[in-house]
Structure formats: structure tokens, C-alpha cells
Chains A and B, each alone.
Chain A
């Protein structure tokens, strides 16, 4: 009874709260990091060094007037942000935050469920989210959102292929689709897959940027061209849902990257004697540190690069990344078959 209902429910609550907090502080981190890169201070007014800025932001968005333009398709318009957000949250169900730990005399795995097809689940749920984007643009009954959502769908579909291909190489290496197993294999092999599969990691990272609509691939919401892209007509809390979903997706991409390429909750340098104290830091903390490390790279890229153009983005996806990913899969498979066996 406890194992079946109470523990999962508690986990869900903790997970949702943790993710929401992470998202809130991700927004602050983004503004701060960008400000530092751009020789500014960033938010400084709400709380010391602006640490309470996320609270103020959320409050502002909650009390703002929620406008539904008169010519929108009301049902779909309401549904779209919910789809986007829900899909972003679903992915967290299979991400292992840490190893199995003892809490109150009970073995608890820091993962909602260890699905044996975790990787497949993540890929499919992540692509479901695009429906929300398309529907948002379509139901808005306005030109900028329509263009924005068309761009988004094309972009997501193209980069999904490349990203999935990189995950195939990981499946080849581990022989499993379970996230837990992937982390364990990295522990047993003593090397993180980012170093074993640098090409795959690179493609995953670039594809991840594109899939979360981050700079330099933030075309669906290119401010300078499309005003705000697919969520132009949204305001108040419904806009906040899109915002939330975007940042949740970023965390999803980083979490998957950390699990698949950076050894998940594993501490670095387990075999280096004088660094063995790193192992005393709990696994979930390593996980959080690594996730924010990858997120930092996202922000860094955003502050550095100009934006791709739509057709160039497509060309990069189809003519560079996908062939590269396929070649990588073939090489990995060949090495595995002829060399390792």
C-alpha cells in the first residue's frame, strides 16, 4: 500500500516542486549569466542580488489580465499551453536523480519509475510537446504565431531525428533503454559516454538547443522577426505556462544529457585517490550540479552566438547533423561488432 501509492505520490509532489523551483531559478540564472556576460548586473532589486526575482515574476504573471483574443479557437487556444507543459513534465518520470537510498528505513529509488524503455519514452513524449506549439500558433488565428509555429514544427521534427540517432549509439553501447542501466554501465566502464562518444554528445547538445528553441536556434520565437513567435497572442498565466514549459524542456534536455553522457548521479574521478572525498557528496547533488552545468552551457551559447536563419537551420540539421549522427551510429556498431566482441 505504502509502496504502491504513498511513496510514488510523495515522489511526484517532490519532483514537481523541485522542477518548478529549478525552473524559477533557471530564469534568474539565465538573466544573471547573460548580465554578467554583457557587463551588466542583472536583476538586483527584489531581495539581495535579486534572489527573490522569480517570486516577483510569478506573482506578476499570476495577477496579470488573461486576455483571450476574440477570434481565436477558444478550446484549442486554452489547451495548447497545457499540452506543452504536461509533456515537458512527463519526461521527468523516468529520469533517475540519484541511486537507491535509504529514507526512514525504506529503500527508495530516486526515480519515479524505472521504465525499461525509458529512452524511447523520453523521445516520444518530448516530440508530443510540439503539438502544443503547433496548436497554439494555429488557434491564435494570427500571422506571426502561425509562422512561428510552422517554423517550430519543422525545426523540432528535423532535429529530433539527429538527437534520436545519437541516443541509438548509446543504446548500442549499453544494450539497454533504461536510464538506470545506462548510468550503471557508465559506472562499470569507468568512463562517461560524453568522452567515449564525443560526436554523439556534440550532436545531442546542438540538437537539444534546437529542440528547446534556444539560441542560436530560437527561430520559432525570434523576437526581432516574429515579435514573440507562436505565443504572441498569449498573455498572463497562459503565457507563463509556455515560458515554464520552455525552461522545463531545457532542464529535461540537460537532465537527459547528464544521465546519458555525464554519468547521471555518479561522482567524477572515482579512482583518483586524493579526490575520493568527492564521493561523499550525495548522488542527487551531483546530478543537480551537472544539470546546471549543462544549463550554463546553454546560456553561454545564447550570450555568444547570433541566430541562424530558418533555411540554414534546416540545412544544418539535415545535411550535417543527421548524416554525422548516422555515420556515428554505423561506426559505433562496427566497432562493437568487430572489435569488442
Chain B
């Protein structure tokens, strides 16, 4: 293989190769146009928008309760956190006090969602690198989480699981016990995945030193979530600007050092443990009380604009909502999707790596195209 820029006897041409939008490992309809020198990537052009449904504009013509349903469709593997971000933003605008029990349950749901989302991430990431077995194991555990969600709100993917001011319903009887069982399962299974990957020489070769992003770069490029923490930046909205009931629980924020694919993997694996830790505390300390606060019959936030962000499994999920105080729908609805902001780092990540690393790097930033395109 020739190195870029070296003078050789043979003329070499750049090869432009098109990955996607129909490609098995671009996690949906992402299109990446790669400029290759041999197998080395010189440049990458990320083309998005194939799944654009105009969510933001759509929300501006729906009333405030209907929007919860639309937020499900953005990050469809983590619908509950999407719901949470939206309803909290509206609550913030209207100054609604959410009962403690509802906040606890919201925390539990969003941590379950983090587990489910991370399981999908681990599975697809490993499958991209060729470890197909891990993928099926991960989906098996995710099924248990979906079962819990189904029992709580009746849906397995798009939950519509939050309401402005609280929750649509209380936990079904026995749910908390099942939830604890799930924590045990996850705590037992995650080390099992680790035996397949963490010390595996091939896995180390494929992930160590791949796609290194320094802390400064990560901040400058707008990274958030586990990828940012893997670069060594201690930033987690759950700790920094607590929402739901996070300030009442003890948990650690795993931080990486190298900022490579392996560290991003380790950080997310540690988040599995921290999530089950939070869920356990929340179930143990689950207070009694109402599950919905005092909400006016007609939800109509006062005129003004608000930005509120939560830590979704993929990073900082922010909602900027402006209300004119008169109409029944938002005046302006804007989402800061973690997937999109993380995805813009991809060209920087892949430059100089090999084609095979591109799929590993798409996997490591954990994107969902529903959220990128909205």
C-alpha cells in the first residue's frame, strides 16, 4: 500500500466510494462519500437528510400535548428520554411542579432507556467490527427492557411515556420487582460481553488508537455524551444541571483518557453499571404520592423562550421552544439532537484511517438517523 503523497512508480488515483444511504452498517440512511487512497481515507463527506420528516415544523402545528408523541419518532431507540426532554422544557416554561414520585419514575425510565440504547449501540458497534454474536446477546437483554416499557405504557418502541406535569399512569403492580431483576440481569450479562470483547486482541487492535479526539477538539467540535467523556471531559448534565430526580442519587461519571474508540467503548460499558446503580436507588427510595402535578386543563405556556437540555443516552439532547402565549402550539420548536452534533465530527475522525475503520467510527459515535435528520 502506498502512503498518501508518496511518489511511486505508478500513477495513483483517488477513489471516490459511496457508502450508503443503503448500506448495512451506516445505521440507517446515512450516506458517506469517501475519498480513498488505496484503502486509506483522505476525506469523508457526510450526506444526511434522507430521513427528514420535518419534525420541528410539524411540532409548530400541533398542540403541546401532541408533541410528546412526535418526539418519540426522533431517537426511536431512546424514546423515553426524548419525551422527558420535551415535557421538562414545557414544565420549565410554565413553572409546573412535578411530584417527587413522578420524578423518580422518570429517572428510572430514562435510565432504563439508557440501558436499552447502549445495548443497541454495543450490539451494532460490535457487529460492525464483526462480532455478530454480541449483537444478538445485546438484543436479548434489550427485550427485557422493552417488556418493562410495554408493561408501563403499552408500547415497545415509541412510548409516549411522559406527560407535561407528570406521567400518563402509575407503575403497574410488581413492576419495581421486575425492574430490580432486570438490573441483576444486566449486571450479570455486561461482564459476559466484556469477556468477548474487552480483552480480545482483535477488538483491541480494531479500537485502540482509532479515531482519537482530544479534549479540546471534542469541546470545539460540539461533542457531547459518552464520546465527550471518553476524551476526558467531565461533563454530564445529570450531574452538572440535574433534572428529574438525579440530584438525589449517588452515581459516578465514567471518564476516559485517550479519547479513542476503545475508551468510548469502556465509558459506555461503565455507564451500564452506573445506570443499574441509579435504578436500584430509585426503586428502593421510590416515594408514594401522585404521579402528576397541578397542570392547567389547557396547556398554553406564557410568551417567552426556553432552552432545556437533558443527558440522553447519546449526549446532550436540548429543546429550544418559543411560545407566543396566544396560540395552542409552539411558535418555534428547535431540537439540539446529540446524534447530529456528534456526527459532524465523523470527517475529522475518519481522516487518515482505513475503510474498515469508517464503520467502526460510525458505530462509536452512536447515531440514530431519525434524530440526525428529524
Contacts and interface: CB of A to CB of B under 8 A. Distances in A.
Contact of B127 (A143, A218, A224): A224
Given A38-B133, A39-B136, A216-B130, A309 B357 contact: yes
Interface stretch (B74-82, B83-91, B199-207): B199-207
Contacts of B359: 224-225
Contacts of A237: none
Contact of B25 (A143, A144, A219, A224): A224
Contact of A306 (B140, B200, B354): B200
B136 A40 contact: yes
Contacts of A227: 23-24
B206 A225 contact: no
A223 interface: yes
A227 B127 CA distance: 14
B358 A225 contact: yes
Contact of B131 (A147, A305, A309): A305
A312 B207 CA distance: 12
Nearest to A144: B17
A143 B15 contact: yes
A308 B202 CA distance: 6
B355 A307 contact: no
Nearest to A228: B24
B128 interface: yes
A192 to B, nearest CB: 28
A138 to B, nearest CB: 14
B1 A305 contact: no
Contact of B136 (A38, A304, A312): A38
Interface string B8-37: 000000010100000111000000000000
Contacts of B129: 224, 306-307
Given A303-B132, A305-B202, A38 B137 contact: yes
Contacts of A219: 356
Interface in B110-133: 126-133
A273 to B, nearest CB: 41
Contacts of B355: 147, 225-226, 310
Interface string A109-144: 000000000000000000000000000000000011
Given A222-B356, A224-B128, A306-B200, A37 B133 contact: yes
Contacts, number: 83
Q: Which range holds the interface residue count of chain B?
A: 20 to 34
Contacts of B202: 216, 305-308, 312
B133 A303 contact: yes
B96 interface: no
B39 interface: yes
Interface centre among A147, A222, A226, A306 (most CB of B within 10 A): A306
Contacts of B132: 34, 38, 303
Of B25, B39, B130, B205, most buried by chain A (CB within 10 Å of CB) is B130
Given A39-B136, A143-B17, A310 B356 contact: yes
Contacts of A222: 130, 356
A311 B203 CA distance: 14
Nearest to B357: A309
Interface string B296-320: 0000000000000000000000000
Interface string B333-374: 000000000000000000000111111000000000000000
A309 B207 CA distance: 10
B171 interface: no
Interface in A5-51: 34, 37-40
A215 interface: yes
B201 to A, nearest CB: 9
Contact of A305 (B23, B200, B354): B200
Interface in A127-176: 143-144, 147
A25 B328 CA distance: 64
Given A147-B39, A305-B202, A310-B354, A39 B130 contact: no
Given A39-B140, A219-B356, A309 B133 contact: no
A224 B357 CA distance: 11
B35 to A, nearest CB: 12
B185 interface: no
Nearest to B353: A309
Interface in B22-71: 23-25, 39
Contact of B130 (A37, A144, A224): A224
A116 to B, nearest CB: 40
A306 B130 contact: yes
Interface string A221-250: 011111100000000000000000000000
Contact of B137 (A39, A306, A310): A39
A226 B19 CA distance: 9
A134 to B, nearest CB: 16
B205 A304 contact: no
A32 B354 CA distance: 33
B121 to A, nearest CB: 15
Given A223-B24, A224-B24, A227-B24, A306 B206 contact: yes
Interface string A281-321: 00000000000000000000001111111111000000000
Interface in A200-231: 215-216, 218-219, 222-227
Contacts of B196: 304
Contacts of A311: 1, 39, 354
B286 interface: no
A223 B356 CA distance: 11
A306 B356 CA distance: 12
A73 B39 CA distance: 24
A306 B197 contact: yes
A37 B196 CA distance: 13
B170 to A, nearest CB: 34
Contacts of A309: 205-206, 354, 356-357
Contacts of A34: 132-133
Interface of B: 1, 15, 17, 23-25, 39, 126-133, 136-137, 140, 196-197, 200, 202-203, 205-206, 354-359
26 contacts: A38-B137, A39-B140, A40-B136, A143-B15, A144-B17, A147-B39, A218-B130, A222-B130, A223-B24, A224-B24, A224-B128, A224-B130, A225-B25, A225-B355, A225-B358, A225-B359, A304-B196, A307-B130, A307-B131, A308-B202, A309-B354, A309-B357, A310-B39, A310-B354, A310-B355, A311-B1
4 pairs of A and B residues whose beta carbons are closest in the complex? A307-B130, A224-B25, A38-B136, A306-B131
